[in-house]
Structure 1
């Protein structure tokens, strides 16, 4: 058996460590969104496959016998394509999705589905907005004219902010609650915009928003793939063992 682990989350790092410890043959694949990703204890490839045709060619060339999808919960297009190709080739496939965040007492959340259509309606002009959504979907917020926008990313930007009123911040997680509280105070943040990715490490910004009573625009997840859903590292390792 040769397992392909599609990585991109903290859970993927833990799964890779478990697979290596148990001697399960596997290769990690990273999309290459981060220039200096953390190292994995397994053979690792970085970069896209060249679409569906390229992915199928890779599966055949590397004799991949199963695919474990531990990409970001919002990587819906990649997950759907992977599921469909695995189904067509009769390859075992499962998606690892951590539970979503749910509001706690004191949270001020507004749930939305499409930030490019709904963000402008909820965030007033003149507000200072912290976009914790990543640079890949930054263009969806181009309608937030008249607001001050901050977008945090791991790597230094390769160009200026794509529209007026915005600024990049550079930082590599994890961030403590105290770190986030201090940052939000320094920037004068009025609104926090977050994708509902789930996970304890990324939740510190939500705890900081609760402490400061900053309203949160929470973007709902896309639907998962039709295949098996695993909600923990332990479940993912159990699935791999059973192959």
Structure 2
């Protein structure tokens, strides 16, 4: 049994008509739970609609993606906080810092992250972090905030051992996705130096499909390819990996009131 801790299954890259068959395919692959990170104001209703359609399998989270932090970000966050008061969400995210696409919004991204980190602590929910080209900046910010009770997942981990240890010290797991299967992804040099208890699995569907589906639309049904590659890198039996990863997921999403 697998859990996909990060998939945008409500994305417009999937159609409503194909969803029943896609969910059957995901179930057949052994993926029983899918955690849905929000992106912006426009994705909230599609995400909640999907979660309502599959309430035991799809679990919504609330956050503002750093690439969607604009001049109006404070108003956007205010409206999202209203949603948090109205509906049940199991995490805060995805949020964070992205310096790959647009460095000009860096200051706004930092402020938006601070707000959402405070939401996570206040509600005892995991914080789901995106940090493309910004791992050290994100770590520096969170360490300076020194928020007691903060925990969560660094989504799409691509860092080094030192950065991983800083994440762990802050109370975070490392989200391992399709990049682990890429020939030049670099994780083969890092992950064996860490512990199995540090990881959760994710697809980031519809993005970052693992080998052998790289370049195609991703799906939570491809999560076993990620799990198998991680087991091979860590030189552990697949069943032992599956069992520990699920305990890690429970630690993030169930032990803290989610």
TM over 0.5: no
Structure holding more helix per residue: 2
Which protein shows a greater Rg? 1
Structure holding more strand per residue: 1
Which structure carries more relative contact order (alpha carbon 8 Å, separation 6+)? Answer: 1
